[in-house]
């Protein structure tokens, strides 16, 4: 491939200009993406590999070939581009995560997820920052400031939710999936927010007042990002319910859903909030309301189109990271010796391992203590898997590292170059080595005959042949009597002591409360399940052609 | 919106940096796209408006607001970007056109389409080039070279297929739709190819040998682009048929189809071919083979996802052109007086009107003479509509004008700036004024009671409530006996005189020939209709969840 490219580059006179180089890069990437998908399919049954690792390795090999054929000159074209990552690749992944997540399990484990995703990041951040600021100077890297060490702490606290999800199955291990996945999303958001907070710190007059301010702005960001996501999702549901009630137009519906989801992300970024959190909650709200207000064809299309977009973006990121590993300029600029590099690399790996262990086990115990219901208990084997599955570092780490240690792609000094190359090394190693070991580890710790016992949930796993629409139904513990009640609280504040219920099963109580509120106030305005009557077996895919014939 | 933006821009300290400006531009565009879709829906029944005009006007108004609130400084952010247009926005539109076109009608009118799309462009090109080189110097624009006039000829020969299609209905006027649409695609490709040929001309030693070379390279481009598109389409069909025969995975299928369609375009651009033609034929082949090899969910998803992508890209282009109209730098640089500007503008409009009339009417007569079958006869009323519906100029014209008259977005001299502003003026005027008059004109020339008589086709218009899959079935004039034949030519070279058939109805004969070839050699290798048995009423949308449960 690269040989052909070089041939083309040299033979075509116009090939040298910037435009054509760009076309060539796109062509190379699209070809590699196709190759990844085909290879990923062929390797699907393989126990050690997954699509991320395939893409990473394929990208790495292509990087070598490009580097060799271009005599080291073209490594710079393929340099990691923060903007591309944060503005175009990350949003579809996180949105799809919110859109397809099983809401019931997510909210059932909400406490544990928040503990891991928020408190956990702070613990890991403290350990990695402290550890690296203690060890790095001894390895000869004296020029890093306290701010850089704090940045390193956040960079290596961001787990890679993309890769993690490929090894866990929502159907086989629902509790683990929900925990690790939920943590991944919240963790990404926390890391990015914390990273921004660290970058804004001024260390000249570092008072406790400032720490208080920082925590204040942190919670403000968390809260307002969530509210923005929910608001955008509800707006989309309202628009589609109001405008398209009588005459459905599939193309417009899909376009509105896609654009408003993206709008929530980009609006959050514009307002300096956390786009990741916003688009995640927007996805949840859209799957709960908007998705039920559209035609059958739109439902099928959005479900698969969003998943496909996310899939392509994921594969693209891993290809990109793989190709970017050979950023020769950085490697040349980092004046560290092999020993030093190895020291930095292994220090960080150890700190990541310790930093994650330091919060997974204590916080699991705390979560078990707080939530007494049997189906959210986290066993010791599961704790080990949670610890291990969150060790991988990915594109978020690289993006943050580039943001901290480069100015428009170029490292400022050898120390910064070393920080970048070490980050790339850690990401590659953790994704490939830790990633490869995850599936066997799960198999060893939770053999299939144990899974059904350990990872139980209150609802039976849905049979595979059931229509996928059931995934979105979320029966949510309500019986038909309660659903029939239309007055807020009427199903809850009944003869049963509500205080007693709160103490016995807080999650379930809050959930019932929400359910009543949803039925009484939200659904009448925003639609949602049951808005468009769905009769199984009578899919009328052609219905929108009737209403919108002129648009080809 | 713009007020909020300005507020944000000034209040947020970091708002000034390039990254954030970019985020703001994206946010503005996404918001406007949503607004366009909602407005377009509300105005759907309106006789004068269509989505293109709505987007154009909305973009124009936003441009004014942005310009006013930013005191004329931010007009440059929104400048037309050729790369964005040719690499990202045009491919989905043309691919979707090929994917959703009714193949039967397209190939039935192939001769007429090629006459209009190829010969017509040359006639229009000659008239506009000659006319402008005659009139422009008299208006005081002396500095344009012969090459610039030839470029102007190609720029204003490119009709706007996007806008045109919104006013014609594939169901109400199938013959007109097929002709105007087919011409639009071929015309775009011809114009781009011709434009490139003109740019490469050296006028120092302009010999007849060179003209011959130019025509040679023109036909080479046409042929090789088509072959590349067909080859990529067939490859995608083959990959999906071979790899996913037993276990279908919807997300991967959709990803492969999307990526390979895009690959065909970008590969053609890389090889200096015409990406438009390539991706158009790739779309046709994909809808004929690949689309039938995938799961039911993939079919629904690709059909709607491609249409939605195309829809968003179209709306985006018109918004963009509308906003770009107020490119103050160009207007200031163009030192032409109001009288001169008006002279240029009206000269070009007249030349466009004459240039199109000069080929539509003679070539229609020629086509009527060549194809004697009643159902491809083009009546005089239809000729007028074809003439009128192709008068609109759009984004292709603007993109080519920027390519010819600017260096990285800035005009080289006042004459070039005037050429750009005149192009923008012609595009706006023709889209809004000509576009608004098209629907009423069709209504006047072809009142509904006449349409069924005038625009007859050999097959009855499909009832609206039929499953959309029928759109892709393309019964293609074959009865069940012929389909049953498996030997090549066996259905054709039979007792009936094949020569007699050729003389009587050449299109139908070629079509039957193709059909036999398709059944005997192509379908066994590349799949196609009937590959995955389709049983109406038994849509198994959940089937891929069974095969690919781990991917969320």
Q: What is the CATH number of the domain that holds B257?
A: 1.20.1530.20
Point out the residue among A256, A304, A311 whose CB comes nearest to the CB of B37: A256
3-state helix, strand, coil in chain A (%, to 5): 75, 0, 25
Is B545 contained in some domain?
no
Is A138 contained in some domain?
yes
B92 and B192 share a domain?
yes
Across the range A54-65, mean pLDDT stands at: 87
B281 and B326 share a domain?
yes
Across the range A61-81, mean pLDDT stands at: 72
Is B474 contained in some domain?
no
Would you call A300 and B298 a contact, using CB atoms and an 8 Å cutoff?
Answer: no
Tally of residues, chain A: 552
- Best mutation site among B243, B270, B470, B547 for testing chain A: the one with the most A CBs within 10 Å? B270
Q: Give yes or no for B56 touching A (CB within 8 A).
A: no
Q: pLDDT band at B232, cuts 50/70/90? A: very high
Judged against a pLDDT cut of 90, whether residue A123 lies above it is answered with yes
Task: Single out the residue of B479, B519, B504, B457 nearest to residue B102, CA to CA.
Answer: B457
CA distance A205 to A198: 14
| Neighbouring-strand partners of residue B410 | B407
Residue pairs spanning A and B at CB distance below 8 A = 206
Domain boundary among B46, B77, B108: B77
CA distance A339 to chain B (A): 38
Judged against a pLDDT cut of 50, whether residue B491 lies above it is answered with no
| B243-247, B438-442, B486-490, range with greatest mean pLDDT | B438-442
Across the range B148-152, mean pLDDT stands at: 89
What radius of gyration do chain B's Cα atoms show? 25
Across the range B30-40, mean pLDDT stands at: 90
Regarding predicted confidence, which is higher, B199 or A58?
Answer: A58
Tell me which of B5-19, B76-90, B104-118 is least confident: B5-19
Judged against a pLDDT cut of 90, whether residue A56 lies above it is answered with no
Is B546 contained in some domain?
no
Across the range A12-35, mean pLDDT stands at: 74
Q: How confident is the model at residue B179, as a pLDDT?
A: 86
Contact status, residue A290 vs residue A259, Cβ threshold 8 Å:
no
B286 and B365 share a domain?
yes
Instruction: Convert B395-420 to b/e letters by CB count within 10 Å (16 or more is b).
Output: bbbbbbbbbbbbeeeebeebbbbbbb
Q: What tokens does A120 get?
A: 């956990």
Judged against a pLDDT cut of 80, whether residue B130 lies above it is answered with yes
Would you call B308 and A254 a contact, using CB atoms and an 8 Å cutoff?
Answer: yes
| Neighbouring-strand partners of residue A407 | A410
Contact status, residue B378 vs residue B368, Cβ threshold 8 Å:
yes
Contact status, residue A117 vs residue A186, Cβ threshold 8 Å:
yes
- Give the strand pairing for A410-411 and B406-407: unpaired
Q: Give yes or no for B478 touching A (CB within 8 A).
A: no
| A204-208, A455-459, B26-30, range with greatest mean pLDDT | B26-30
SS3 B410: strand
CA distance B142 to B298: 57
Residues of chain A neighbouring B468 (CB-CB closer than 8 A): 541-542, 545
Task: Single out the residue of B21, B18, A87 nearest to residue B5, CA to CA.
Answer: B21
B497 and B436 share a domain?
no
Domain encompassing residue A241: 79-454
SS3 B406: strand
Q: How confident is the model at residue B79, as a pLDDT?
A: 63
Tell me which of A250-264, A361-375, B252-266 is least confident: A361-375
Task: Single out the residue of B127, B150, B275, B133 nearest to residue B201, CA to CA.
Answer: B150
Across the range B276-304, mean pLDDT stands at: 90
Q: How confident is the model at residue B128, as a pLDDT?
A: 94
Element (H, E) at A122: helix A120-135
Give the residue on A whose Cα is nearest the Cα of B315: A255
Is A1 contained in some domain?
no
Overall domain count for chain B? 3
Q: How confident is the model at residue B236, as a pLDDT?
A: 93
User: What whole-number percentage of chain A has pLDDT above 90?
Assistant: 19
CA distance A344 to chain B (A): 32
Q: How confident is the model at residue A468, as a pLDDT?
A: 37
B72 and B106 share a domain?
no
Q: How confident is the model at residue B434, as a pLDDT?
A: 86
Judged against a pLDDT cut of 50, whether residue B157 lies above it is answered with yes
Q: How far apart are the first and last CA of chain B?
A: 36
Task: Single out the residue of B93, B171, B163 nearest to residue B468, CA to CA.
Answer: B171
Q: How confident is the model at residue A78, as a pLDDT?
A: 59
Average pLDDT, chain A: 76
Q: How confident is the model at residue A40, as a pLDDT?
A: 83
| Tens digits of residue pLDDT in A466-520 | 333 333 333 333 333 333 333 443 444 444 444 544 444 556 677 788 888 888 8
Tell me which of A353-367, B204-218, B235-249, B522-536 is least confident: B522-536
| Tens digits of residue pLDDT in A218-242 | 788 888 999 999 999 999 999 988 8
B390 and B442 share a domain?
yes
CA distance A193 to chain B (A): 16
Across the range B441-446, mean pLDDT stands at: 83
CA distance B399 to B88: 13
B70 and B83 share a domain?
no
Q: Give yes or no for A90 touching B (CB within 8 A).
A: no
Q: How confident is the model at residue B248, as a pLDDT?
A: 62
CA distance A82 to B366: 57
Q: What tokens does B389 get?
A: 């519906």
Q: Give yes or no for B28 touching A (CB within 8 A).
A: no
CA distance A7 to chain B (A): 11
Contact status, residue B322 vs residue B56, Cβ threshold 8 Å:
yes
Handedness of CA A209, A210, A215, A217 (dihedral sign): positive
Q: Give yes or no for A49 touching B (CB within 8 A).
A: no
Q: How confident is the model at residue B47, as a pLDDT?
A: 67
Give the residue on B whose Cα is nearest the Cα of A265: B27
Would you call A259 and B30 a contact, using CB atoms and an 8 Å cutoff?
Answer: yes
Q: How confident is the model at residue B530, as a pLDDT?
A: 67
B70 and B143 share a domain?
no
Q: How confident is the model at residue A10, as a pLDDT?
A: 35
Tell me which of A69-83, A242-256, A315-329 is least confident: A69-83
Q: Give yes or no for A61 touching B (CB within 8 A).
A: no
Q: How confident is the model at residue B301, as a pLDDT?
A: 92
HSE-CB of B236 using CA atoms within 13 angstroms: 34
Across the range A47-57, mean pLDDT stands at: 79
| Tens digits of residue pLDDT in B65-96 | 887 877 766 555 556 677 888 889 889 988 98
Please give the full DSSP string across B414-443, using - where no structure is assigned: HHHHHHHHHHHHHHHHIIIIIHHHHHHHHH
Q: How confident is the model at residue A124, as a pLDDT?
A: 94
Across the range A34-46, mean pLDDT stands at: 83
Across the range A284-305, mean pLDDT stands at: 90
Q: pLDDT band at B206, cuts 50/70/90? A: low
Average pLDDT, chain B: 76
Would you call A252 and B311 a contact, using CB atoms and an 8 Å cutoff?
Answer: yes
Across the range A516-545, mean pLDDT stands at: 61
| Tens digits of residue pLDDT in A393-403 | 888 888 888 88
The 3 state secondary structure assigned to A361-424 is: HHHHHHHHHHCCCHHHCCCHHHHHHHHHHCCCECHHHHHHHHHHHEECCEECCHHHHHHHHHHH
Would you call A301 and B300 a contact, using CB atoms and an 8 Å cutoff?
Answer: yes
Lookup result for tokens 């003109």: B198
Q: How confident is the model at residue A1, as a pLDDT?
A: 36
Would you call A263 and B304 a contact, using CB atoms and an 8 Å cutoff?
Answer: no
Q: How confident is the model at residue A92, as a pLDDT?
A: 93
Element (H, E) at B541: none
Judged against a pLDDT cut of 50, whether residue B216 lies above it is answered with yes
CA distance A163 to A390: 9
C-alpha pair distances (Å), B97 with each of A425, B101, B251, B310 = 45, 6, 23, 8
B436 and B497 share a domain?
no
- Name residues whose C-beta falls within 8 Å of residue B541's C-beta, 6 or more positions apart in sequence: A300, A467, A468, A539, B296, B297, B300
Is B467 contained in some domain?
no
Q: How confident is the model at residue A350, as a pLDDT?
A: 94
B104 and B67 share a domain?
no
CA distance A429 to B400: 48
Q: In chain A, which among 361-420 make CB contacts under 8 A with chain B?
A: none
Across the range B365-381, mean pLDDT stands at: 77
| Tens digits of residue pLDDT in B386-431 | 898 888 888 888 888 888 887 766 666 788 888 888 888 899 899 8
Within 10 Å of residue A443's Cβ, how many Cβ atoms?
11
B377 and B490 share a domain?
no
SS3 B411: strand
Task: Single out the residue of A319, A314, A313 nearest to residue A63, CA to CA.
Answer: A319
Tell me which of A21-30, A216-225, B246-255, B291-300 is least confident: B246-255
CA distance A503 to chain B (A): 34
Q: For chain B, count helices (H), then strands (E).
A: 29, 2
Across the range A516-542, mean pLDDT stands at: 63
Q: pLDDT band at B244, cuts 50/70/90? A: low
Is A140 contained in some domain?
yes
Judged against a pLDDT cut of 80, whether residue B109 lies above it is answered with yes
SS3 B502: helix
CA distance A271 to B15: 10
Residues of chain A neighbouring B271 (CB-CB closer than 8 A): 8
| Tens digits of residue pLDDT in A380-422 | 888 998 898 888 888 888 888 888 887 766 666 788 888 888 8
| Neighbouring-strand partners of residue B159 | B393
Across the range B376-385, mean pLDDT stands at: 84
Q: What tokens does B49 get?
A: 């408006």
Regarding predicted confidence, which is higher, A168 or B31?
Answer: B31
Task: Single out the residue of B293, B263, B253, B551 nearest to residue A307, CA to CA.
Answer: B551
| Tens digits of residue pLDDT in A181-193 | 888 878 887 888 7
Q: What tokens does B50 get?
A: 């269509």
Q: Give yes or no for A14 touching B (CB within 8 A).
A: yes
B22 and B63 share a domain?
yes
Residues of chain B neighbouring A239 (CB-CB closer than 8 A): 38
Within 10 Å of residue B488's Cβ, how many Cβ atoms?
15
Is B163 contained in some domain?
yes
SS3 B536: coil
């Amino acid at each position: 491939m690269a040989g052909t490219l070089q041939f083309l580059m040299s033979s075509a006179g116009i090939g040298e200009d910037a435009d054509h180089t760009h076309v060539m890069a796109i062509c190379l990437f699209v070809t590699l993406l196709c190759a990844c998908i085909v290879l990923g399919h062929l390797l699907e049954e393989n126990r050690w590999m997954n699509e991320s690792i395939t893409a990473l390795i394929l990208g790495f090999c292509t990087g070598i070939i490009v580097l060799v054929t271009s005599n080291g000159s073209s490594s710079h074209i393929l340099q990691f581009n923060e903007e591309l990552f944060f503005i175009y690749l990350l949003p579809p992944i996180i949105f799809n995560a919110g859109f397809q997540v099983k809401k019931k399990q997510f909210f059932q484990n909400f406490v544990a997820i928040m503990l891991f995703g928020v408190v956990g990041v702070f613990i890991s951040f403290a350990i990695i920052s402290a550890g690296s600021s203690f060890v790095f100077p001894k390895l000869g890297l004296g020029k890093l400031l306290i701010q850089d060490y704090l940045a390193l702490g956040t960079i290596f606290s961001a787990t890679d939710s993309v890769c993690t999800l490929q090894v866990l199955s929502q159907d086989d291990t629902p509790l683990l999936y929900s925990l690790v996945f939920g943590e991944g999303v919240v963790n990404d958001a926390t890391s990015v927010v914390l990273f921004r907070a660290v970058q804004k710190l001024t260390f000249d007059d570092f008072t406790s007042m400032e720490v208080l301010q920082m925590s204040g702005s942190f919670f403000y960001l968390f809260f307002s990002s969530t509210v923005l996501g929910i608001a955008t999702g509800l707006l989309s549901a309202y628009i589609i319910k109001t405008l398209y009630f009588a005459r459905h137009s599939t193309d417009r519906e899909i376009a509105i859903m896609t654009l408003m989801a993206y709008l929530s992300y980009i609006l959050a970024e514009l307002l300096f909030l956390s786009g990741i959190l916003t688009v995640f909650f927007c996805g949840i709200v859209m799957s709960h309301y908007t998705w039920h207000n559209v035609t059958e064809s739109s439902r099928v299309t959005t479900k698969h189109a969003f998943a496909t977009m996310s899939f392509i973006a994921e594969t693209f990121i891993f290809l990109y990271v793989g190709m970017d590993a050979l950023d020769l300029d950085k490697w040349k600029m980092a004046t560290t010796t092999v020993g030093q590099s190895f020291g930095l690399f292994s220090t960080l790996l150890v700190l990541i391992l310790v930093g994650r262990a330091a919060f997974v086990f204590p916080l699991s115990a705390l979560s078990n203590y707080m939530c007494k219901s049997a189906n959210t208990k986290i066993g010791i084997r599961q704790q080990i898997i949670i610890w291990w599955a969150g060790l991988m570092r990915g594109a978020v780490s690289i993006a943050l590292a580039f943001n901290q240690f480069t100015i428009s792609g170029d490292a400022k000094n050898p120390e910064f170059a070393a920080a970048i190359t070490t980050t790339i090394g850690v990401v590659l190693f953790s994704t490939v080595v830790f990633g490869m070991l995850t599936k066997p580890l799960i198999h060893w710790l939770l053999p299939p005959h144990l899974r059904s016992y350990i990872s139980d949930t209150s609802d039976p796993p849905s049979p595979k042949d059931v229509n996928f629409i059931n995934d979105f139904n979320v029966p949510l513990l309500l019986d038909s009597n309660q659903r029939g009640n239309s007055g807020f609280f009427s199903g809850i504040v009944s003869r049963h002591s509500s205080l007693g219920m709160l103490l016995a099963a807080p999650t379930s109580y809050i959930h019932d409360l929400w359910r009543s509120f949803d039925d009484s106030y939200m659904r009448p305005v925003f639609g949602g399940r049951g808005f468009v009557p769905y009769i199984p077996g009578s899919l009328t895919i052609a219905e929108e052609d009737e209403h919108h014939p002129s648009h080809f």
